[in-house]
Amino acid sequence: MELTLVQSDDWHLHLRDGELLQAVVPHSANHFGGAIVMPNLKSPVTTTAAAIRQVLMRSSLQARSSKVVFAIKLYPAGAITNSQEGVTDLLGKCSLVLEQMVQYNMPLLVHGEVTDPNHITTMDAVRFVESCEEGFVAATVTPRHLLLNRNVLFQGRLQPHNRCLPVPKEKSTAIVSAVTSGSKRFFLGTDGAPHERRRKECPCGCAGIYNAPAALALYAKVFEEAGALDKLEAFTSLNGPDFYGLPRNTSKIKLIKTSWKVPESFSFSFGDIIPMLQVKH
């Protein structure tokens, strides 16, 4: 009924900016000790100075020594929210940056999606990660890709709050097996992506699922159903810092198995945010 874990960090998180940033930070801070925060804001974070104010990139050496920037994120142009200024020619335009990243041991984070209709599947992604040398390639895994499939977009009617990118293809036993196996190649990254309700419930609504209030409980559910609660701590709290070469947290967090309900919405002066588990699944 109770499980004590080393406190986790969230290795893939979106916090946005402005009022939305101020609204959602407490939800992540209540559960996680730290986070790798994504740079795809309305004005993308592309300098170390901007990263210190918010979070990510330019000189690899300067970034690494800042103790604020720990990786650089690759977005294909147009693949996701605020990625219009993303990469259009990886080798042609990014070779020098990639060489510097190798020199200074700076991880490259890849948004695993292309901008044509043929997307990678979860099983393919698992096979790719497992085929690479351990310690050099790893993958964060979200709650939604462990629990949902593409049908959640259309149950009963269109469900805009379940729209995310990459779209879950199927509830894959391959990815559940991978994360609950104890492999060091996989670790927690919620990809929590908040949007105000009106920006989801509109034509061309934004992609992203907000899961910070329930993420740890959802991961625990998956591991419990797989009979692998003994491997949960490695996935949530140990594999991530080990891969990045950062210290593990020393604080602990206690998970208690009890009945509870995620709030239907979180209301702020600028509008509402609808969390995961409050739309039909």
d(CA 168, CA 29): 27
Asked about 10 being catalytic, the answer comes back as no
- Find the catalytic residue in 9, 14, 145, 200: 14
Tell me if residue 194 falls in helix, strand or coil. Answer: coil
Asked about 281 being catalytic, the answer comes back as no
- Find the catalytic residue in 9, 12, 145, 161: 12
- Find the catalytic residue in 9, 10, 27, 111: 111
d(CA 96, CA 231): 39
Residue with tokens 């996989």, as numbered in its chain: 186
d(CA 152, CA 169): 10
Asked about 73 being catalytic, the answer comes back as yes
- Find the catalytic residue in 17, 31, 119, 169: 119
The CA distances from residue 112 to 24, 126, 145, 166, 199, in Å, are 25, 12, 13, 8, 24
- Find the catalytic residue in 27, 73, 145, 161: 73
d(CA 223, CA 209): 21
d(CA 88, CA 259): 47
Listed as own residue / partner, the contacts of 117-120 with beta carbons closer than 8 Å and 24 or more positions apart are: 119/166, 119/167, 119/169, 120/166
The CA distances from residue 110 to 79, 81, 131, 140, 257, in Å, are 12, 15, 17, 10, 34
- Find the catalytic residue in 9, 27, 161, 191: 191
Question: Number of C-alpha atoms within 13 angstroms, CB side, residue 37?
Answer: 25
Asked about 111 being catalytic, the answer comes back as yes
Closest of 266, 269, 151 to residue 212, by C-alpha: 266
List residues with catalytic annotation. Answer: 12, 14, 73, 111, 119, 191
